[in-house]
Structure 1
Amino acid sequence: MQGAIAVARGVQELVPVLRDRAQEAEDRRTISTESIKSLAATGFFRLLQPARFGGYQADPVTFFGCVRDIAAACGSTGWVASVIGVHNWQLALFPDQAQQDVWGDDPGTLMSSSYAPTGRITAVDGGYRVSGRWSFSSGCEHASWVLLGGIVPGEGETPADFRTFLLPADDYTVEDVWHTVGLRGTGSNDIVVADAFVPAYRSLSFGDTARCVCPGQELNTAPLYRIPYGSIFPYTITTPIIGMATGAYDAHVSYMRERVRAAYAGVRAAEDPYSQVRVARAAADLDAAWLALTADMTELMTLASAGEKLPARLRLRVRRDQVRGTELAIQAVDRLFENSGGRAIYSSHPMQRYWRDAHAGRVHAINDPERALSMFGRGEFGLSVADAMM
């Protein structure tokens, strides 16, 4: 616990540096090596890593709190930190040999990912042949392994299996395609694989993660590793967006304290009651999003620590709160942007970058509100729900 607290303090101390580098990250279309090294030095990437590899196997709330702080300083850095940081949690679910392959010589090794099953998977003796192109691999420049989603076709009455495949950098190339309007600093480029062999132990079924029964749990017995992938990963995407909206809020309040509205006879913006109401609404939205996240993660960890089964209704509620958290954050950043006046559209103003980054994060597939809300509604009405992301 003390180690995780020290990490959180180290991240807080790094926040001003990351804020100063935010424009550089956007201009370069990737996070600097210096920023990744600085985050690693705080121990951030070890928060969700098993203790047997030098990790803290910390409470998810600590991890997500750090992500929110980082994203409030720089949206792109927060996004990359979050998705790369959660990979250490997922690798802990793989068979031990896969963990040894990645961390055996260097526990600080980082992985990127792309889970949409856009490649071709063929089952062969001892493993799988993997080929194709995967997009949106955030932070891949800083990783030496990648996690790729793929579907193994079923045979006869055997259903298809959606799996994650772990590949070293020698098995793939990175193609620079990242020219976007938001999250420009994430370097979320394409991963291209040409007929690589992946041994069976370097793959993990999404079905196993949904059932919370994975090979890695034999050695990584902490409660953290008994939480569903469908609860941890979605908040990995929502939390940076909450952080971006929080950064926008802080920038907005600071700006409005000094702003004078020339169009309204020199009235100070801070004295405008309508501006005050908009700020209050934005603050309430952000608080609601964060309180739901912390309550959900705390309940999951409490049950996992007690060795109790995680009820379906809780898992559905987590997904409900996750998509609503994204919606609330977007609602807040939109209100703040609209309240900032014309100068917020200048490229030198941080509000426009927070706005673009948050909306870029919003279009991630995991933020599809109708799908998650429909799942929750089905559960409430007593209907069956079968989804790997719950």
Structure 2
Amino acid sequence: MVNKVLSTVRDLLPKIAARAQKVDDSRKISERTIRELSEAGVFSMLAPKRYGGAESDPVHFYEVIRAISAACGSTGWVASVVGVHPWHLALFDDRAQDDVWGEDQTTLISSAYAPVGRLTAVDGGYELSGQWGFSSGCDHASWALLGAMVVGVDGRPVDFMTVLVPRTDYEIRDVWDVVGMRGTASNEIVVKNAFVPEHRLKRNYETAQLSGPGQAVNPGPLYKLPFGSIFTSTVAAPCVGIVAGCYEGYLDVMRERVRLSLGGGRFSEDQFAQVAVARASSEIDAAILQMDRNIREMYELAVAGQELPLSMRLRARRDQVRATERSVEAIDMLFKTAGGNSLSRGNPIERAWRDVHAGSVHVANEPERALALYGRAAFGLPVEDNLI
């Protein structure tokens, strides 16, 4: 099946690329770009059909994200993270979905999943307070998915939840001024004593078990996939896309470059440069092939109504963090061999280098924990983690 959204997005890429420096300088993506991506169908690719979504094969979604990220890392990151939230919301109670999409099916959602919020039981639901960092694209969203823990009468946590909160119940603090992914506007969200009805809460344990009340109204295979595979791939795909785009730009520039030192000569004829290009391209290909294979095989099993084995979920997590590591390795090779010209601010290689390194520090891209989980299972030891 042809990825129709990708075809539409490709027409937008020159404009997105032309805006990339302004996005980096201003620390935000324009409303115009968000509107264009929305009209192209990017944010509805993983949304339920009954709310105007496409319920796309997730491999197609990540293909679109890589293409956008190749043009502008920050735009690709926000498109990916905001674009995955309809998938998560589809697992919630039907009433929560209607709260968000009942009047406007284009409504966007941001997130901050770290369980730093505090939920206290009250009549009819819970009271929520907390402060969350790193909510990418929150300025464009009308709702937020926030991580929180339910506390008992003794003040100790008794359960971990994801909470759906409307924009009217939280404050956004503009604190995002960082080295890379500058345009994601991943600002802080603050909630003070907001009431949350029970239908807007979802247990993280339940999500890890591949279940949720939303599956009763959204029975498609897309909503039988693991959060630990879908969301983590969402923060790896932009990194892969950024370096893939940088690689193509690198070849265009360096193919005709002539060195004025080290004996001169065409850069493209330098054997060390040729080896660096080969290594970088291999890392990019490996990252894409492994991630797409894993998500495709999971989706095919879900379509067939078959169980997703733990070994497959662990492999997907393994390859997802390795994809991010491969992206860092590839961008470092390109940055290093590009020479002093890559150091100037505004150089696409310099911006890509900053963006990939910034994206790699997201907790879901941290490799050691995910790789250790795979290793535990390989040795026959028990494995339990919410991001599998």
Q: How does 1:14-163 map to 2 (within 5 A)?
A: 14-153=12-151, 160-163=158-161
The 1-side partners of 2:295 and 2:121 are apart by 36
- Confirm or deny: 8 A CA contact 1:154 1:161 kept in the other structure: no
Which amino acid counterpart does residue 360 of structure 2 have in structure 1? R
Which amino acid counterpart does residue 277 of structure 1 have in structure 2? V
Percent of pairs with identical residues:
52
Query: Does the C-alpha gap of structure 1 residues 182 and 96 become closer, same or farther in structure 2, counting only changes over 3 Å?
Result: same
The 1-side partners of 2:87 and 2:93 are apart by 13
Query: Does the C-alpha gap of structure 1 residues 324 and 164 become closer, same or farther in structure 2, counting only changes over 3 Å?
Result: same
Q: CA deviation at 1:348?
A: 3.0
Query: Does the C-alpha gap of structure 1 residues 65 and 184 become closer, same or farther in structure 2, counting only changes over 3 Å?
Result: same
The 2-side partners of 1:314 and 1:123 are apart by 38
What is aligned with 2:290?
292
Determine helix, strand or coil for the equivalent of 2:329.
helix
- Confirm or deny: 8 A CA contact 1:115 1:148 kept in the other structure: yes
Which amino acid counterpart does residue 52 of structure 1 have in structure 2? R
Do structure 1's residue 325 and structure 2's residue 323 form an aligned pair?
yes
Determine helix, strand or coil for the equivalent of 1:258.
coil
Which amino acid counterpart does residue 10 of structure 1 have in structure 2? T
Alignment gaps of 5+ in structure 1: none
Q: CA deviation at 1:160?
A: 2.6
Do structure 1's residue 388 and structure 2's residue 386 form an aligned pair?
yes
What is aligned with 1:177?
175
- Confirm or deny: 8 A CA contact 2:236 2:323 kept in the other structure: yes
Q: CA deviation at 1:248?
A: 1.5
- Confirm or deny: 8 A CA contact 2:130 2:190 kept in the other structure: yes
One of 263, 268, 271 as aligned partner of 2:269: 271
Determine helix, strand or coil for the equivalent of 1:213.
coil
Query: Does the C-alpha gap of structure 1 residues 193 and 155 become closer, same or farther in structure 2, counting only changes over 3 Å?
Result: closer
The 1-side partners of 2:149 and 2:158 are apart by 7
- Confirm or deny: 8 A CA contact 2:21 2:346 kept in the other structure: no
TM (norm. structure 2) is: 0.98
The 2-side partners of 1:45 and 1:202 are apart by 21
The 2-side partners of 1:194 and 1:370 are apart by 35
Deviations 1:12-32 (A, max 9, x none): 111111000000111111110
The 1-side partners of 2:262 and 2:269 are apart by 12
Runs of 4+ with >2 A deviation:
153-156
The 2-side partners of 1:56 and 1:385 are apart by 34
How many residues align? The count is 387
Do structure 1's residue 339 and structure 2's residue 337 form an aligned pair?
yes
The 1-side partners of 2:215 and 2:117 are apart by 28
The 2-side partners of 1:100 and 1:139 are apart by 22
What is aligned with 2:10?
12
The 2-side partners of 1:221 and 1:349 are apart by 47
Q: CA deviation at 1:127?
A: 1.4
The 1-side partners of 2:175 and 2:245 are apart by 28
Alignment gaps of 5+ in structure 2: none
Q: CA deviation at 1:355?
A: 0.3
Do structure 1's residue 225 and structure 2's residue 192 form an aligned pair?
no
Determine helix, strand or coil for the equivalent of 2:65.
helix
The 2-side partners of 1:275 and 1:54 are apart by 48
Deviations 1:292-351 (A, max 9, x none): 011001110011111111111111111100110100011000000001010100013110
- Confirm or deny: 8 A CA contact 1:163 1:203 kept in the other structure: yes
Determine helix, strand or coil for the equivalent of 1:351.
helix
One of 256, 259, 273 as aligned partner of 2:257: 259
The 1-side partners of 2:148 and 2:315 are apart by 27
Which amino acid counterpart does residue 235 of structure 1 have in structure 2? S
